[in-house]
Amino acid sequence: MEKRELIYEGKGKKMYATDDANLLIAEFKDDLTAFNAQKRGKEDGKGALNNKISTQLFKILKEKGIATHLVETLSDTEQLVKKCEIVPIEVVVRNIATGSLSKRLGLKEGMVLPFTLVEFYYKNDELNDPIVTDEHCLVMGLVKSEKDLETLRHIAREINSILFKFFEAKGLKLVDFKVEFGIDKDGNILLADEISPDSCRFWDAQTNEKLDKDRFRQGIGEVKVAYEEVLRRILS
Ligand code: ADP
Ligand code: UDP
């Protein structure tokens, strides 16, 4: 597989073309950003940790029947993925109230939600990724039909029930997470992007210690130690 030109550099990854028009190389960066990139930092080795964590979680999901973009790991920081047209919706799944949900609705941080919430955010940095309703998604043409939104919701809930149980067995609470979906060349909806401590919240089941990017957002420190702990538990 030949790595060709850089086609996109985002906050957490660089995406490269390859000699196969249907495949991309995702390279995980050590950069950390929060609050729509107003806070920036770097943690050596973070990219490699996220690559390993995301690869492992995508493999578990694949075994349970979730279609994903992952083809194979290429190096510590690189993975080969199926090229997709990304649906510009960040699908957020929440089991416990925190972050923007607590801020927006005044829900007590740590409240166990009576049922799992699935929310859609319009993936647009200029607009600060605003929360959107189904009708907003349809008006903006972010998806073709209501059925597509139902499919995204359904897959996101499936991912949650698989990963929630998986992490529970590892002594971690899966508080909330964000996923992205893409459409491949054959029109299939695939889980794309990554699932890592950059895009999830994990709390230790015993102590509620935060083991995710909130350590960077809130300036708690020891970000890499926390990501290493998540990887250790995933592999345990
Ligand atoms: P951001 O764009 O939010 O800063 P990243 O730094 O993670 O995020 O950049 C990776 C970009 O690549 C994201 O915009 C993501 O939607 C996109 N992407 C992820 N997986 C694929 C894929 N399989 N095909 C095409 N684009 C993808
Ligand atoms: N999230 C993400 N990318 C974003 C926004 C949120 O990966 O651009 C993840 C975040 O890590 C958390 C979940 O989605 O696991 C819910 O985030 P929230 O809406 O509470 O946003 P925040 O408090 O980070 O602004």
Nearest C-alpha to atom 14 of ligand 1 is from which residue?
10
CA of 80 to the centre of ligand 2 (A): 25
**DSSP 3-state assignment of 6?**
strand
Going by C-alpha positions, the residue among 15, 47, 14 that lies closest to residue 31 is 47
Q: Can you count the helices (H) and strands (E) in the chain?
A: 6, 14
Domain extents for the chain?
A: 3-82, 85-222
pLDDT at 50: 98
Asked if residue 152 lies in contact with residue 87, where contact means CB atoms within 8 angstroms, the answer is yes
d(Cα 180, Cα 13) in Å, to the nearest integer? 14
Average pLDDT over residues 5-33: 98
Question: What proportion of the chain, given as a percentage, has pLDDT over 70?
Answer: 100
Q: Which ligand is nearest to the CA of 127?
A: 2
Q: Which ligand is nearest to the CA of 105?
A: 2
pLDDT at 225 over 90: yes
CA distances, 143 to each of 30, 85, 175, 190 (Å): 32, 11, 27, 14
* pLDDT-based confidence at residue 32 (cuts at 50, 70, 90): very high
pLDDT at 140: 98
- Tell me if 24 CB under 6 Å of ligand 1: yes
Average pLDDT over residues 5-28: 98
pLDDT at 211: 98
Question: What proportion of the chain, given as a percentage, has pLDDT over 90?
Answer: 99
47-57: pLDDT as tens digits: 999 999 999 99
Average pLDDT over residues 56-76: 98
CA of 214 to the centre of ligand 2 (A): 9
CA of 91 to the centre of ligand 1 (A): 14
CATH 3.30.470.20 at 85-222, yes or no: yes
pLDDT at 1: 84
Average pLDDT over residues 186-209: 98
Residue with tokens 């995508």: 58
161-193: pLDDT as tens digits: 999 999 999 999 999 999 999 999 999 999 999
Average pLDDT over residues 4-9: 98
CATH 3.30.200.20 at 3-82, yes or no: yes
d(Cα 233, Cα 203) in Å, to the nearest integer? 12
d(Cα 171, Cα 65) in Å, to the nearest integer? 24
- Tell me if 32 CB under 6 Å of ligand 2: no
Average pLDDT over residues 220-231: 98
CA of 205 to the centre of ligand 1 (A): 31
Ligand 2 closest atom vs CA 101: 20
- Tell me if 179 CB under 6 Å of ligand 2: no
Q: Which ligand is nearest to the CA of 215?
A: 2
pTM: 0.98
Asked if residue 222 lies in contact with residue 213, where contact means CB atoms within 8 angstroms, the answer is no
CA of 85 to the centre of ligand 1 (A): 10
77-99: pLDDT as tens digits: 999 999 999 999 999 999 999 99
CA of 12 to the centre of ligand 2 (A): 14
Amino acid code (one letter) for 224: K
